Every structure is written in C-alpha cells, then in structure tokens.
Amino acid sequence: MRGPHNIWRLIRTGATLERTGAMNLVLDAFRAPPSLRFASKALGVPFKWLGYKGDPNLPPATRALTALGPAYIKFGQVLSTRPDVVGDELALQLRVLQDKLPPFPLSEARAEVERELEMPVDTLFSSFSEPVAAASIAQVHKAVLRETGRPVAVKVLRPGIEKAFRKDVDAFYLAARMVDLLAPSARRLRPMEVIAHFEGVVQGELDLRMETAANAEFAANTAKDAGFRVPHVEWFLSSRRVMTLDWAEGITASDIAAIDAAGHDRKALGERVLTLFLQHALRDGYFHADMHQGNLKIAPNGDIIALDFGIMGRLDEYTRRVYAEIIFGFIRKDYRRVAEVHFEAGYVPADRDIDEFARALRSVGEPIFGMDASRISMGRLLNFLFEVTERFGMETRTELILLQRTMVVVEGVSRSLYPQINIWEVARPIVEDYIRKNIGPKALIRDLSRTVRVLSRFGPQLPKLAEAALLRHSAPPPPPDPRIRRGDAVGLVLLGAGGMATIVWIAALF
C-alpha cells in the first residue's frame, strides 16, 4: 500500500486542517513564520473542499484529528500534555483525545467479547455497562464478574482499527520518503526508520495479548513501589481484541479541580509521577511509554494507578548507563563529561569537535538551572536543541525514541499537576542512586562476575572448540571447483549484483 496513491492522503490532511479551522490554530501554536503561513494558505484554501468535515460539535483541532484517523489522534495525545509548546488553547482541545472520543455501540462491543472469549457475555459477567472511556484504539466498559462479584474493566478494540491504522502509517511512510528525497539535510533524522519503529509499536498495541503480558511484567517490577499501583489482569478473560483487568477507582489525573477537592497534594503527585518514570526507566529498563493524564488515576488514598499498557519502552543496561550519565552530567553542570558520553556512545560522529559540542550543551543547560519550570519555554528549548543536533550531525536514535517521547509526556503531566516543578531537582536523587549502584568499582566487579558466569557455561565445550580451531588453521585451502570456470564465476557475481539492483529498484518504487 506504500505507493504514490498516499499523496492523496497527505493532501487531504492539509485540506482537513483548513476545512475544520484547525490550520490557523496550529500555525499560531507553533509560531509559524510569515512565509510558512503564506504557503499553507496558498496550498490549503484551494483544496479546502477536499478535507474531511469531521464532527462540527468538536473543537477545531480535535475535530480535524478525529476525522483524520487513529495515528493522528495518537500524535495529538502527546501534544495535549505540552501547553508550554502548543499553547493553553490547543492543549485544552487536544486533551479530549485522551479518553473522551466518540464510542462505538455497546452491541458491537458485546458481540466482539463473545467472539473473542467464545462465551456469552451474560455467562461471564453479571453486568456489562455502556462505554466509560473511549480512546483512539479501544474503549473500556465496566463489568462485574459473575463468579466473584468483583468489578473489572473490559477493554475492547475498535472495529476495523487495524485497517485504519495501516492506512495512516502508509501515508506517513510516503511523507518520510519525501523528506528523504526533498530535504537531504534532514536525512540524519532517519525518518523511514522512525516510522518503521512507530509502526512496530502500534502493531504491538493492536494485539491486546501483548498488552496483557506487558501489564503482568510491569506489575511484577513495580510491586514494591510506594504510592503506585498496576491493576491485576484476568488472563482467562483476555485475548487478541479483548482485555479484562481489575477496575481502578480514582480521579483522572487531568481533573485538577477534583484532585484539589479530594485534598490530594498536587506537588507530591507531580514529583512522584516524574520520580516513578525515572525509576522504571533506569532501575528496571522497562517503563510505561504512554503516561498521559488519561492513563493515570489518583486513588482515594493518593496512590497513582497506571492504565493502558499498549506502549511500553525497554532499555538495555548499556543504554541506561549512558542515559544516566548524560542526565547526571547536566545536573552537575559537567558539560564536558556529557559531551564525552555522547562521543563514547557514538551519538555524535567522532570527527566533530568535542569542546565545541560541550560549549553548545552548556548553552542549552545553563538557562534551565535556578529557574522554576513555569519560566522555561520548552518550545524554544526544543527548537534550540534541534539546531545544536543538526550542527553536530547527531542522528536519530531509534532505540531512544520512546524514551524521549515519554520524557516529554511525563514532564507535561507533572507540570499540569504542579506548574513550578523543577525536573532537575526531582531527578537528582534518582539518578545519583543509579550512578552509585551501577557505575563505579562495585558495578565493574559485578559486570566481571557476570562475564565469568557466561564464559563458564562454555567450559565443557572449550576443548572441542580449540581442537576445531587448530584443525581449520592447519588444513590446506580447498582446491577450486573444476565445474566453475572463471567466466562462470564472473557471471555469478554479475547475476548477484543484478539481482540486488533489481531489489533496490523495486524497493524504491514502494
């Protein structure tokens, strides 16, 4: 499906923004320059009639994204947590995308549950409610287990969601290829790899069996985290398109008025959200990668309850150490060490000037310290960071995409709970504790002991491996095969090269 016909999809995207009235709102939110505004109007107004109409009862931005499809809705969910980037008005409109989208009928949900679980709904549940929350990919119903009387949440995928998402992702691939062809300076961002990574994440989210497994693993990792809960899943009432788990009673993290009325300490909540994320990313290497307000509830006792485990992030131990050293370097204002870590990890090409890079990092980090978060424009900061990375040839690290995206979302959630939060002060004790335990003499001894254990597994095979290596080294080279003449060998090489060229040519078409 990744053919030129997806150009139509991109044209309709711009036309939909114009028709729904979202274009001006988006341009204002991102402080678009006059040239971009002129180009948008010149291209958008003539094709306005091609755009999707959407639901006139919704605000413009929400109306446009819901009309365009689930992938666009996911993008809007991320932006909804960053009023400092897109402005308060647009963030307020996009917040509706988190869990207040139009639901599909109860009859369809019941039919889907019966197909997937192969039993009548009334046999499994004594009650099965209308949708209580509807998001881009699935909706949730409150039910009561007939056997135990325990309340549960039943998550059901939207009908036809797999096909709809494929259509959106195909258009994104075309956009990424156009960036590759028309903007060579942006190739370092590896847009095709970014979209491929995004597609893989989405495919995992569309299989609720994977989410059920993620829920169980995350619950095991965080069982001892104070003030944090993960609902228990019902394995035998879950399948590819249906997931059943404990009902979580609490206030949605976006309802600030209700949180205040309940007497919760919003400063403590904001700091805990950020602290938990860092603990999960650094300590466990496994973190919730979709922590917007719609996926967090505040329990009556003040615990934070996490929901929706369709998108999870995983970091290997080496990446965790690099990430911790970078954060720790910023906290200590040791920009030279931060620069060295970037070079050691291969994030910056080795031919670049490390001192120049350290100075550029200082220009990014220094304005942050000594200021509360409400005085920092994250939009301007991100723009400046992009300029710095472009200057030094840094490439997009696909393994860090979810980590970077989640850090943006989590900071936005923490700020919505407590606008004056300082991310560096909150992060310091978590990062220092990780550095103390994982970087230094003790960590070196632990790494060496692990290496010895791995090598010891090959002990019984070492004599055979050594004997085989010696035999290969001492054996004469095999005589040439008389059935293959030199001309034939050249022909085989050319045939292989021609086949590879054909594959490349076909791939270019798609």
pLDDT, tens digit, 9 for 90 and up, residues 188-239 = 556 777 677 777 777 777 899 999 999 999 999 999 999 999 999 999 999 9
Cα 157 to chain centroid distance, Å, stands at 20
| Domain contains 258 | yes
Q: Which helix (H) or strand (E) holds 223?
A: none
Q: Which two tokens stand for residue 350?
A: 């080795």
* Residues 262, 340 share a domain: yes
Instruction: Classify residue 349 as left (phi > 0), alpha (psi -120 to 50) or beta.
Output: beta
How high is the pLDDT of residue 69? 79
Q: What are the E-state strand segments in 146-252?
A: 151-157, 228-229, 242-246, 251-252
* Residues 301, 369 share a domain: yes
* Residues 500, 362 share a domain: no
* Residues 490, 398 share a domain: no
| Domain contains 49 | yes
Where is the domain boundary, 65, 97, 129? Answer: 97
Q: Which helix (H) or strand (E) holds 343?
A: helix 335-344
| Domain contains 355 | yes
d(CA 121, CA 113): 7
| Domain contains 179 | no
How high is the pLDDT of residue 2? 55
d(CA 402, CA 252): 23
Where is the domain boundary, 68, 97, 126? Answer: 97
Where is the domain boundary, 97, 124, 150? Answer: 97
d(CA 76, CA 93): 9
Are the C-beta atoms of 306 and 296 separated by less than 8 Å? Answer: yes
* Residues 416, 280 share a domain: yes
d(CA 243, CA 291): 19
Indicate if the alpha-carbon torsion angle 29, 30, 36, 40 is positive or negative.
Answer: negative
* Residues 74, 17 share a domain: yes
Residue 493: which domain range? Answer: 485-510
Count of domains observed in the chain: 3
503 pLDDT band, cuts 50/70/90, is very low
275 pLDDT band, cuts 50/70/90, is very high
| Domain contains 45 | yes
- Residue 149, Cβ density class (10 Å: 0-12 exposed, 13-18 middle, ≥19 buried): exposed
Neighbours of 501 (CB within 10 A): 10
Kindly list the catalytic residues. Answer: 290
What pTM was computed for the model? 0.71
